[in-house]
Structure formats: structure tokens, C-alpha cells
Amino acid sequence: MREALLYQKLEEDRVRCDLCAHRCQIGPGKRGICRVRENRGGILYSLVYGRLVAANVDPIEKKPLFHFQPSSTSFSVATVGCNFQCLFCQNHNLSQAPVKGDVGGSFLPPEDLVALAQRYGCKSISYTYTEPTIFLEYAYDTARLAHRVGIKNIFVTNGYLTEEALDLMGPYLDGANVDLKGFQDAIYKRVMKARLGPVLDCLKSLKRRGIWVEVTTLVVPTLNDSEDELKEIAEFVRSLGEETPWHVSRFHPHFRMAHLPPTPLKALNRAWEIGREAGLRYVYSGNVPGDKGESTYCYGCGRLLIRRYGFSILEYNLKEGRCPSCGAQIDGVGMEEGVRLPQPWRIFG
């Protein structure tokens, strides 16, 4: 536990947290919406500082980030808690754990986390699985140390950070995958217990700051899968820049939306087409290993440049970050560095 960053003291020992767009006003002895930030005598504390419930070496493609140091590994960490309450949450056992008062986890100091990332040859550290905004103090301390040794930092986030939080974290944040869960404020309020506007503002701010951004939309039947809504999302992503990758992912029944069917592949393919029709250079379909929508094609000539299966790169045809056929520059971070492809199995000889 440590004193929180970015909060204001109010009258009668109340505080206002300025970390995310909820800007919770919290009375003495109470917690914010995330349930991991508590007011103790007029001082706001993070209850989860360094208390990790997940720590894994992941392929960067799992974030998903397809244009950020491709085929590298990222040391991925999380605490419990979230500032959203998504009815279809894939990690609800972690994100919603504090509902029962349990913050759990094993303490790992920032310097030890960075040392582990170095030991395992990771090019980046990802703050992921749950919402990194709610453990920003830990991410901030870790990120500053990571930058000193050449390790990049990534947020996999719902995009509810305030400008103050981005001012603090931005200088040490290199990449982000932001969930854009729909384009209706009413759906955000009902299903996520949040609002749409701050997510759009955060995405714009991340782009203005020069942080590499990829956007993911989980296509949920009856919720956000209409052509009109998908077109609105695609057009917004295009407004961020045609180079912004958009991942449209297949929904599988989960948590409090287990009654819905999986996303039909036809609907996912149509979402992919809508992204391309909107003028986006890179559109990807997720949660469908083997689909052609996992691969990167040149926006200039259409050549297959990166062939993927799941989180693995099977073929990498870029030459110094460019299409070898037409010379188009492929956008991203570290695209010119090349990758190590999996070696074939040898049965004899």
C-alpha cells in the first residue's frame, strides 16, 4: 500500500481521485469505483501497489499489438481491480475480485519486475489483463526504471485515463492497445458502467502525444454489431490516422453475457471489410486463428507482408520496414528490425 498519485483533498476528509474519468469523490473509510483506492483519514491510498496476481512472458501479438516490435516478448503484469464493470469481462475473476474485499497478490518491487523482464529477454513490459489505470502508481514507478534500461512500456486499457494521468504516464508510455467497446453512450452506461466520451478523448490524446496506438473492438452480437455502429467506430479510428490498426475480435459467451451466441464469422468478416472501406490501412480479425484477417497486407499493392497464426508470425517479408514490392513504409514501432521466425521440426538428420 502507498499513497496515491493524482488526488485532491476536499472538505470533511473527503478526497477526489483524478486518475480516471469517473473522478470519484470518496468519503473517509470508503473506496472508489475501482475498489482498490481507499480514503484513510483524508489520504487516498492504492491498496494494490506491487501486489501482482498475474505475471507472464507473452508474445506482443497477444496484447494485441501487431505493429509494435513484432514477434518480441512482453513481460505482462496485473493487479486485481477495474474501473469498469463490463458484463462480458473475460478476466472478471481478477477485475471484479475486490467486490469481495480481496486484493490479494504477491508483492514484487518495480526494480525486481524490470530485472525479470531483462532476464527473460523481453523488449517491453505490458500492464494488462485488468485495467492498468487503477495501478498506475506501480506502472509509473516501473516504467521509469524500464526506460533507463531500454525496455518499452505498454498499456492495454479501456481508455478511461484523465489528461492528468496521461501527463504523468505519457513520457514513459510507448504503446497502447485501447478497447473501444462500442459507439453508443447508452451502451457504455448500461454494460460497462462508464461513458463513451472520455474514451474517445483519451484516444485522441494518446495519438497527439506520439504514443503508438492500436484499437480493439470486441464485436458482441445484438450489442455493437450493427453495420451503422461498426461504420461509426471505423470512421472514428480513421480520424485518428489511417495508420491506426483496428482489431475486430470475436466474442465468446462469458460472465454475465453467457446467454449470447459467439460472433458469427460472417459478421466478423463484414466488420473487417467495413474497416477497409473506411480507409484504414490495417484491419485485423481476432480470436479466429488461421483467418486471413490475422495477416498484414501492403496498403499500396496488396502483397502479403506478415503471415500470422494466432500469436505467431510464420512469414515476414518486410525489408527495412517497407514492402519489398512497392516500397510502401509500413507503420509501427520496430517494424524495420526483422523477426525470428519459428524453426521447422526436424524428424531425421
3-state SS, one letter per residue, for the chain: CEECCCEEECHHHCEEECCECCCCEECCCCECCCCCEEEECCEEEECCCCEECEEEEEEHHHCCCCCECCCCEEEEEECCCCCCCCCCCCCHHHHCHHHHCCCCCEECCHHHHHHHHHHCCCCEEEECCCCHHHHHHHHHHHHHHHHHCCCEEEEEECCCECHHHHHHHHHHCCEEEEECCCCCHHHHHHHHCCCCHHHHHHHHHHHHCCCEEEEEEEECCCCCCCHHHHHHHHHHHHHHCCCCCEEEEECCCCHHHCCCCCCCHHHHHHHHHHHHHCCCCCEEEECCCCCHHHCEECCCCCCEEEEEECCEEEEECCECCECCCCCCECCCECHHHCCCCCCCCCCCC
Q: Are residues 8 and 65 both part of a single domain? A: no
Considering only residues 257 and 173, tell me which one the structure prediction assigns the higher pLDDT: 173
Could you tell me the CATH number of the domain that includes residue 277?
3.20.20.70
Helix axes 227-240, 265-277, angle to 10 degrees: 40
pLDDT(343) > 60: no
Over residues 246-286, the pLDDT tens digits come to: 999 999 988 888 999 999 999 999 999 999 999 999 999 99
Residue 265 is predicted with a pLDDT of 95
Is residue 24, in this structure, part of any structural domain at all? yes
- Is residue 342 in a domain? no
* pLDDT value at 93 more than 90: no
pLDDT value at position 104? 80
- 145 phi and psi angles, rounded to 5 deg: -65, -40
Same domain (yes/no): 174, 262: yes
Q: What is the CA radius of gyration of the chain?
A: 20
Domain shared by 36 and 72, yes or no: no
Burial class (CB in 10 A: 0-12, 13-18, 19+), 242: middle
Domain shared by 40 and 55, yes or no: no
Using pLDDT thresholds of 50, 70 and 90, give the confidence band for residue 52: very high
**The predicted structure's pLDDT at residue 349:** 35
Average pLDDT in the 57-65 region? 97
Q: Are residues 171 and 244 in the same domain?
A: yes
pLDDT at 224: 96
User: Do 123 and 16 share a domain, yes or no?
Assistant: no
Q: How confident is the model at residue 99 (pLDDT cuts 50, 70, 90)?
A: low
Q: Which domain holds residue 33?
A: 2-46
* pLDDT at residue number 340: 74
Within a domain: residue 96?
yes
Question: Within this chain, do residues 100 and 235 fall inside the same structural domain, yes or no?
Answer: yes
Query: For residue 105, what pLDDT is reported?
Result: 87
Q: What's the pLDDT score for residue 347?
A: 37
Question: Is the pLDDT reported for residue 97 higher than 80?
Answer: no
Strand partners, 7: 17
User: pLDDT confidence of 102, banded at 50, 70, 90?
Assistant: low
Pair (264, 249) in one structural domain? yes
pLDDT in tens, 307-341: 999 999 999 999 999 999 999 999 999 999 878 77
pLDDT band at 185 (very low <50, low <70, confident <90, very high): very high
Residue finishing a domain among 296, 312, 343: 296
Looking at the structure, tell me whether residues 24 and 77 fall in a common domain: no
Number of domains in the chain: 2
- According to the model, what pLDDT value does residue 342 have? 61
Q: Residue 192 domain-assigned? A: yes
Residue 324 belongs to a domain:
no
For residues 118 and 167, membership in a common domain is answered with: yes
Burial of 83 (0-12, 13-18, 19+ CB in 10 A): buried
User: Is position 185 within any domain?
Assistant: yes
Residues 21 and 72 in one domain: no
Candidates 297, 237, 299; CA nearest to 271 is 237
Both 189 and 58 in a single domain? Answer: yes
- Answer with the one of 29, 46, 63 that is the final residue of a domain: 46
